[in-house]
Amino acid sequence: MNKSILAVAVLAAATALPSLAQQQITIVNFGGANANAQKKAFYEPFEKTGTKIVTVEYNGEQAKIKAMVETKKVTWDVVEVESPDVARGCDEGLFEKLDYARIGPKGDFVPAAVTECGVGIFVWSTVMAYNGDKLKSAPTTWADFWDVKKFPGKRAMRKGARYNVEFALMADGVKPADVYKVLSTKEGADRAFKKLGELKPNIQWWEAGAQPPQFLVAGDVVMSTAFNGRIDAANREGKNLKITWTGGIYDLDYWVIPKGTPNKEAAMKYIAFASTADAQAEYAKNIAYGPTNNKALAKLDAKTLGNLPTSPANAKDALQFNLKFWADQGEELEKRFASWAAQ
Protein backbone atom coordinates (compact mmCIF):
# COMPACT_ATOMS: atom_id res chain seq x y z
CA MET A 1 0.00 0.00 0.00
CA ASN A 2 2.78 2.39 1.01
CA LYS A 3 4.67 1.49 -2.16
CA SER A 4 1.68 2.30 -4.37
CA ILE A 5 1.17 5.64 -2.58
CA LEU A 6 4.86 6.38 -3.08
CA ALA A 7 4.62 5.43 -6.76
CA VAL A 8 1.64 7.75 -7.26
CA ALA A 9 3.50 10.57 -5.50
CA VAL A 10 6.60 10.05 -7.65
CA LEU A 11 4.47 9.99 -10.81
CA ALA A 12 2.65 13.17 -9.78
CA ALA A 13 5.95 14.92 -9.08
CA ALA A 14 7.39 13.79 -12.40
CA THR A 15 4.41 15.05 -14.38
CA ALA A 16 4.53 18.37 -12.54
CA LEU A 17 8.21 18.97 -13.35
CA PRO A 18 7.76 20.01 -17.02
CA SER A 19 5.21 22.67 -16.08
CA LEU A 20 7.56 24.01 -13.40
CA ALA A 21 10.49 24.03 -15.82
CA GLN A 22 8.53 25.56 -18.68
CA GLN A 23 6.54 28.53 -17.46
CA GLN A 24 4.50 30.26 -20.15
CA ILE A 25 3.53 33.90 -20.73
CA THR A 26 1.33 35.47 -23.39
CA ILE A 27 2.64 38.60 -25.14
CA VAL A 28 0.36 40.73 -27.31
CA ASN A 29 1.64 42.83 -30.24
CA PHE A 30 0.50 44.52 -33.46
CA GLY A 31 1.92 41.93 -35.87
CA GLY A 32 3.82 42.59 -39.10
CA ALA A 33 7.51 43.45 -39.46
CA ASN A 34 7.50 44.87 -35.93
CA ALA A 35 6.37 41.54 -34.46
CA ASN A 36 9.04 39.72 -36.48
CA ALA A 37 11.72 42.04 -35.10
CA GLN A 38 10.42 41.50 -31.56
CA LYS A 39 10.54 37.74 -32.07
CA LYS A 40 14.23 37.80 -33.02
CA ALA A 41 15.37 40.38 -30.46
CA PHE A 42 13.14 39.64 -27.47
CA TYR A 43 11.05 36.46 -27.60
CA GLU A 44 13.54 33.84 -28.83
CA PRO A 45 16.43 34.95 -26.55
CA PHE A 46 14.09 35.23 -23.54
CA GLU A 47 12.73 31.72 -24.09
CA LYS A 48 16.26 30.42 -23.47
CA THR A 49 15.83 31.51 -19.83
CA GLY A 50 13.16 28.83 -19.44
CA THR A 51 9.89 30.68 -20.09
CA LYS A 52 7.86 29.84 -23.19
CA ILE A 53 6.28 32.78 -25.02
CA VAL A 54 2.90 32.57 -26.75
CA THR A 55 2.13 35.57 -28.98
CA VAL A 56 -1.22 37.11 -29.84
CA GLU A 57 -1.86 39.84 -32.43
CA TYR A 58 -4.39 42.61 -31.85
CA ASN A 59 -5.23 46.06 -33.16
CA GLY A 60 -4.90 48.07 -29.97
CA GLU A 61 -8.29 47.20 -28.50
CA GLN A 62 -8.05 48.50 -24.93
CA ALA A 63 -11.61 47.22 -24.36
CA LYS A 64 -10.31 43.63 -24.44
CA ILE A 65 -7.89 44.37 -21.59
CA LYS A 66 -10.61 46.17 -19.65
CA ALA A 67 -12.97 43.19 -19.96
CA MET A 68 -10.29 40.78 -18.72
CA VAL A 69 -9.39 42.96 -15.73
CA GLU A 70 -13.01 43.61 -14.73
CA THR A 71 -14.01 39.93 -14.95
CA LYS A 72 -10.73 38.88 -13.25
CA LYS A 73 -10.00 36.53 -16.15
CA VAL A 74 -6.67 37.94 -17.34
CA THR A 75 -5.04 35.74 -19.99
CA TRP A 76 -2.65 38.36 -21.44
CA ASP A 77 0.56 38.92 -19.48
CA VAL A 78 2.43 41.62 -21.42
CA VAL A 79 0.79 43.91 -23.99
CA GLU A 80 2.25 46.40 -26.46
CA VAL A 81 0.14 49.58 -26.36
CA GLU A 82 0.27 52.92 -28.14
CA SER A 83 1.08 56.09 -26.23
CA PRO A 84 -2.51 57.44 -25.81
CA ASP A 85 -3.49 54.19 -24.08
CA VAL A 86 -0.71 54.10 -21.46
CA ALA A 87 -1.85 56.98 -19.25
CA ARG A 88 -5.55 56.26 -19.87
CA GLY A 89 -5.22 52.59 -18.91
CA CYS A 90 -3.09 53.47 -15.89
CA ASP A 91 -5.69 55.98 -14.67
CA GLU A 92 -8.44 53.38 -15.10
CA GLY A 93 -6.51 50.81 -13.07
CA LEU A 94 -6.07 48.40 -15.98
CA PHE A 95 -2.29 48.01 -15.65
CA GLU A 96 0.14 46.99 -12.93
CA LYS A 97 2.59 49.63 -11.65
CA LEU A 98 6.12 48.89 -12.86
CA ASP A 99 9.14 48.36 -10.62
CA TYR A 100 12.03 50.27 -12.20
CA ALA A 101 14.45 48.82 -9.65
CA ARG A 102 14.02 45.63 -11.72
CA ILE A 103 13.90 47.21 -15.18
CA GLY A 104 16.89 49.56 -14.93
CA PRO A 105 17.87 53.10 -13.91
CA LYS A 106 15.31 55.59 -15.24
CA GLY A 107 18.18 57.79 -16.41
CA ASP A 108 19.22 55.12 -18.94
CA PHE A 109 16.01 55.64 -20.92
CA VAL A 110 14.60 58.28 -23.25
CA PRO A 111 12.56 60.47 -20.83
CA ALA A 112 9.26 59.76 -22.61
CA ALA A 113 9.81 56.01 -22.17
CA VAL A 114 9.48 56.10 -18.38
CA THR A 115 5.89 56.07 -17.10
CA GLU A 116 4.22 54.64 -14.01
CA CYS A 117 2.49 51.72 -15.75
CA GLY A 118 4.37 51.39 -19.04
CA VAL A 119 7.95 51.41 -20.30
CA GLY A 120 8.80 52.44 -23.86
CA ILE A 121 9.71 49.62 -26.26
CA PHE A 122 10.78 51.70 -29.25
CA VAL A 123 10.57 55.14 -30.83
CA TRP A 124 8.97 55.51 -34.26
CA SER A 125 8.47 58.57 -36.41
CA THR A 126 6.19 60.05 -39.05
CA VAL A 127 8.53 61.62 -41.59
CA MET A 128 8.84 63.01 -45.11
CA ALA A 129 9.87 60.39 -47.69
CA TYR A 130 10.70 60.40 -51.39
CA ASN A 131 11.96 58.04 -54.10
CA GLY A 132 15.72 58.41 -54.59
CA ASP A 133 15.43 56.98 -58.12
CA LYS A 134 12.88 59.57 -59.21
CA LEU A 135 13.79 62.72 -57.27
CA LYS A 136 17.42 63.70 -57.74
CA SER A 137 17.30 66.91 -55.70
CA ALA A 138 16.50 66.14 -52.06
CA PRO A 139 13.80 68.12 -50.21
CA THR A 140 15.18 69.23 -46.83
CA THR A 141 12.27 70.98 -45.07
CA TRP A 142 8.46 70.95 -44.88
CA ALA A 143 8.58 74.19 -46.88
CA ASP A 144 10.04 72.08 -49.71
CA PHE A 145 7.19 69.60 -49.33
CA TRP A 146 4.80 72.50 -49.98
CA ASP A 147 6.88 73.94 -52.87
CA VAL A 148 5.19 72.53 -55.98
CA LYS A 149 7.16 74.83 -58.31
CA LYS A 150 10.53 73.56 -57.18
CA PHE A 151 9.24 69.97 -56.85
CA PRO A 152 6.28 69.53 -59.25
CA GLY A 153 3.88 66.65 -58.65
CA LYS A 154 1.53 65.13 -56.09
CA ARG A 155 2.16 64.75 -52.37
CA ALA A 156 0.72 61.93 -50.28
CA MET A 157 -0.53 62.69 -46.77
CA ARG A 158 -2.42 60.66 -44.18
CA LYS A 159 -6.12 61.46 -44.26
CA GLY A 160 -6.62 63.16 -40.90
CA ALA A 161 -5.63 66.24 -38.93
CA ARG A 162 -3.02 64.50 -36.77
CA TYR A 163 0.56 65.21 -37.98
CA ASN A 164 -0.66 67.24 -40.97
CA VAL A 165 -1.52 70.37 -38.98
CA GLU A 166 1.90 70.20 -37.29
CA PHE A 167 3.66 69.78 -40.66
CA ALA A 168 1.67 72.68 -42.12
CA LEU A 169 2.82 75.05 -39.38
CA MET A 170 6.45 73.97 -39.83
CA ALA A 171 6.07 74.57 -43.57
CA ASP A 172 4.81 78.04 -42.69
CA GLY A 173 7.95 78.81 -40.69
CA VAL A 174 7.05 77.75 -37.13
CA LYS A 175 9.97 76.12 -35.29
CA PRO A 176 9.33 72.53 -34.12
CA ALA A 177 9.68 73.59 -30.47
CA ASP A 178 6.87 76.15 -30.90
CA VAL A 179 4.40 74.09 -32.94
CA TYR A 180 2.03 73.04 -30.14
CA LYS A 181 2.13 76.46 -28.51
CA VAL A 182 0.96 78.01 -31.80
CA LEU A 183 -1.47 75.22 -32.63
CA SER A 184 -3.24 75.52 -29.28
CA THR A 185 -4.54 78.99 -30.29
CA LYS A 186 -7.45 79.64 -32.67
CA GLU A 187 -5.14 81.72 -34.87
CA GLY A 188 -2.61 78.88 -35.00
CA ALA A 189 -5.21 76.31 -36.05
CA ASP A 190 -6.53 78.73 -38.70
CA ARG A 191 -2.97 79.22 -39.94
CA ALA A 192 -2.43 75.45 -40.24
CA PHE A 193 -5.61 74.92 -42.27
CA LYS A 194 -4.83 77.89 -44.49
CA LYS A 195 -1.42 76.37 -45.24
CA LEU A 196 -2.98 72.94 -45.91
CA GLY A 197 -5.38 74.68 -48.30
CA GLU A 198 -2.44 75.88 -50.41
CA LEU A 199 -1.34 72.28 -50.99
CA LYS A 200 -4.79 70.70 -51.23
CA PRO A 201 -4.98 70.48 -55.06
CA ASN A 202 -1.74 68.45 -55.03
CA ILE A 203 -2.57 66.05 -52.19
CA GLN A 204 -3.26 62.32 -52.61
CA TRP A 205 -4.53 60.92 -49.31
CA TRP A 206 -3.37 57.69 -47.71
CA GLU A 207 -5.17 55.72 -45.00
CA ALA A 208 -2.93 52.67 -44.46
CA GLY A 209 0.76 52.65 -43.53
CA ALA A 210 1.62 50.40 -46.48
CA GLN A 211 0.40 52.96 -49.04
CA PRO A 212 3.14 55.67 -48.96
CA PRO A 213 5.94 53.32 -50.12
CA GLN A 214 3.63 51.95 -52.83
CA PHE A 215 2.74 55.44 -54.07
CA LEU A 216 6.42 56.50 -54.11
CA VAL A 217 7.62 53.36 -55.92
CA ALA A 218 4.85 53.67 -58.53
CA GLY A 219 5.65 57.35 -59.08
CA ASP A 220 2.10 58.41 -58.17
CA VAL A 221 3.54 61.04 -55.84
CA VAL A 222 6.94 62.78 -55.57
CA MET A 223 6.87 62.97 -51.74
CA SER A 224 4.84 61.50 -48.94
CA THR A 225 4.43 61.56 -45.20
CA ALA A 226 5.16 58.04 -43.95
CA PHE A 227 5.98 55.88 -40.94
CA ASN A 228 9.76 55.49 -40.97
CA GLY A 229 9.57 51.72 -40.34
CA ARG A 230 7.54 51.26 -43.54
CA ILE A 231 10.23 53.06 -45.57
CA ASP A 232 12.91 50.90 -43.96
CA ALA A 233 10.93 47.73 -44.75
CA ALA A 234 10.61 48.76 -48.43
CA ASN A 235 14.35 49.44 -48.65
CA ARG A 236 15.12 46.03 -47.16
CA GLU A 237 13.23 44.66 -50.18
CA GLY A 238 15.54 46.54 -52.56
CA LYS A 239 13.75 49.88 -53.02
CA ASN A 240 15.61 53.23 -52.93
CA LEU A 241 13.33 55.37 -50.77
CA LYS A 242 14.83 58.25 -48.79
CA ILE A 243 13.81 60.03 -45.60
CA THR A 244 14.09 63.69 -44.69
CA TRP A 245 14.18 63.71 -40.88
CA THR A 246 13.84 67.46 -40.29
CA GLY A 247 10.55 68.14 -38.51
CA GLY A 248 9.62 64.46 -38.17
CA ILE A 249 7.13 63.71 -35.38
CA TYR A 250 8.15 60.88 -33.08
CA ASP A 251 6.14 58.75 -30.67
CA LEU A 252 6.61 55.56 -28.64
CA ASP A 253 4.95 52.19 -28.11
CA TYR A 254 5.01 50.72 -24.58
CA TRP A 255 4.95 47.44 -22.66
CA VAL A 256 2.25 47.15 -19.99
CA ILE A 257 1.16 44.33 -17.67
CA PRO A 258 -2.63 43.87 -17.37
CA LYS A 259 -3.70 44.12 -13.73
CA GLY A 260 -4.35 40.75 -12.12
CA THR A 261 -2.25 38.53 -14.37
CA PRO A 262 -1.24 35.37 -12.48
CA ASN A 263 2.15 35.62 -14.22
CA LYS A 264 3.15 39.09 -13.02
CA GLU A 265 6.60 37.96 -11.86
CA ALA A 266 7.48 36.38 -15.23
CA ALA A 267 6.00 39.39 -17.07
CA MET A 268 8.28 41.74 -15.11
CA LYS A 269 11.28 39.54 -15.93
CA TYR A 270 10.40 39.68 -19.62
CA ILE A 271 10.02 43.48 -19.63
CA ALA A 272 13.34 43.86 -17.80
CA PHE A 273 15.01 41.60 -20.38
CA ALA A 274 13.49 43.42 -23.37
CA SER A 275 14.57 46.76 -21.91
CA THR A 276 18.28 45.88 -21.72
CA ALA A 277 20.70 47.67 -24.04
CA ASP A 278 21.67 44.39 -25.77
CA ALA A 279 18.07 43.36 -26.54
CA GLN A 280 17.14 46.87 -27.68
CA ALA A 281 20.17 47.08 -29.98
CA GLU A 282 19.25 43.73 -31.55
CA TYR A 283 15.70 44.96 -32.12
CA ALA A 284 16.93 48.12 -33.89
CA LYS A 285 19.04 45.97 -36.25
CA ASN A 286 15.86 44.18 -37.37
CA ILE A 287 13.62 47.23 -37.90
CA ALA A 288 14.46 50.96 -38.01
CA TYR A 289 12.72 51.94 -34.79
CA GLY A 290 14.85 53.62 -32.15
CA PRO A 291 15.83 52.03 -28.84
CA THR A 292 14.38 53.60 -25.70
CA ASN A 293 17.44 52.48 -23.72
CA ASN A 294 20.06 55.09 -24.65
CA LYS A 295 22.92 52.67 -23.94
CA ALA A 296 21.81 50.58 -26.94
CA LEU A 297 22.97 53.31 -29.35
CA ALA A 298 26.64 52.62 -28.61
CA LYS A 299 26.11 49.00 -29.72
CA LEU A 300 24.94 49.93 -33.23
CA ASP A 301 26.97 50.62 -36.36
CA ALA A 302 26.78 53.92 -38.25
CA LYS A 303 24.53 52.53 -41.00
CA THR A 304 21.91 51.25 -38.54
CA LEU A 305 22.07 54.46 -36.50
CA GLY A 306 21.53 56.54 -39.63
CA ASN A 307 18.08 55.00 -40.10
CA LEU A 308 16.81 55.49 -36.53
CA PRO A 309 14.58 58.31 -35.25
CA THR A 310 16.64 58.38 -32.04
CA SER A 311 20.08 58.88 -33.59
CA PRO A 312 21.37 62.35 -32.63
CA ALA A 313 21.47 63.58 -36.23
CA ASN A 314 17.87 62.52 -36.97
CA ALA A 315 16.43 63.60 -33.61
CA LYS A 316 17.88 67.11 -33.41
CA ASP A 317 15.06 68.81 -35.34
CA ALA A 318 12.29 66.36 -34.41
CA LEU A 319 9.05 67.04 -32.60
CA GLN A 320 7.58 64.76 -29.92
CA PHE A 321 3.93 63.93 -30.51
CA ASN A 322 2.04 65.87 -27.83
CA LEU A 323 -0.42 63.49 -26.17
CA LYS A 324 -2.00 66.09 -23.91
CA PHE A 325 -2.64 68.48 -26.78
CA TRP A 326 -4.33 65.80 -28.89
CA ALA A 327 -6.34 64.51 -25.94
CA ASP A 328 -7.64 68.05 -25.32
CA GLN A 329 -8.12 69.34 -28.87
CA GLY A 330 -7.87 66.34 -31.17
CA GLU A 331 -11.59 65.66 -31.58
CA GLU A 332 -12.31 69.25 -32.60
CA LEU A 333 -9.40 69.33 -35.07
CA GLU A 334 -10.37 65.99 -36.65
CA LYS A 335 -13.96 67.21 -37.15
CA ARG A 336 -12.67 70.40 -38.75
CA PHE A 337 -10.33 68.39 -40.97
CA ALA A 338 -13.12 66.04 -42.13
CA SER A 339 -15.27 69.01 -43.09
CA TRP A 340 -12.33 70.78 -44.80
CA ALA A 341 -11.26 67.65 -46.74
CA ALA A 342 -14.82 67.08 -48.02
CA GLN A 343 -15.09 70.61 -49.51
**SS percent in the chain: helix, strand, coil, step 5:** 50, 20, 30
From the DSSP assignment, how many helices (H) and strands (E) are in the chain?
Answer: 17, 10
CB 261 within 8 A of CB 240: no
Report pLDDT for 184.
97
Residue by residue, DSSP assigns 274-299 as HTSHHHHHHHHHHSS-EESBGGGGGG
Alpha helices in 25-130 (DSSP H): 32-38, 44-47, 62-71, 83-91, 100-103
Q: What angle do CA 12, 17, 18 make, to 5 degrees?
A: 120
Report pLDDT for 4.
52
Cα torsion through 13, 16, 20, 26, rounded to 10: -170
Report pLDDT for 138.
94
- Exposure pattern of 200-214 as b/e (b: 16+ CB <10 Å)? eebbbebeeeebbbb
238-241 contacts: CB < 8 A, separation 24 or more? 239/131, 239/213, 240/131, 240/132, 240/133, 241/129, 241/130, 241/131, 241/132, 241/213, 241/216, 241/217
Report pLDDT for 13.
46
Report pLDDT for 1.
45
Report pLDDT for 277.
97
Q: What is the mean pLDDT of the chain?
A: 92
Q: Does the pLDDT value for residue 124 go beyond 60?
A: yes
Residue 258's closest CA among 17, 86, 35, 58?
86
Report pLDDT for 89.
92
What's the rounded Cα separation, in Å, for the pair 117 and 114?
A: 9
Q: Does the pLDDT value for residue 311 go beyond 90?
A: no
Report pLDDT for 5.
52
Report pLDDT for 8.
47
Report pLDDT for 240.
96
What's the rounded Cα separation, in Å, for the pair 235 and 232?
A: 5
Q: Does the pLDDT value for residue 15 go beyond 50?
A: no
Report pLDDT for 57.
93
272/306: higher pLDDT: 272
Residue range 42-55, pLDDT digits in tens: 999 999 999 999 99
Q: Does the pLDDT value for residue 212 go beyond 60?
A: yes
**Alpha-carbon 213 to chain mean position:** 18
Above pLDDT 90, what percent of the chain? 81
Q: Does the pLDDT value for residue 174 go beyond 90?
A: yes
**Alpha-carbon 169 to chain mean position:** 24
Report pLDDT for 45.
98
Stretch 189-209: mean pLDDT: 96
CB 106 within 8 A of CB 100: yes
In the chain the domains, ranked by start, together with CATH numbers, are 2-123+252-315 (3.40.190.10), 124-250+316-342 (3.40.190.10)
Report pLDDT for 20.
47
Residues 6+ apart with CB under 8 A from 64: 58, 76
CB 206 within 8 A of CB 159: yes
Residue range 56-71, pLDDT digits in tens: 998 888 899 999 999 9
Report pLDDT for 312.
85
Give the E-state strand segments of 181-332 in sequence order.
203-206, 223-227, 241-256, 290-291, 319-320
Q: Does the pLDDT value for residue 3 go beyond 80?
A: no
121: helix, coil or strand? strand
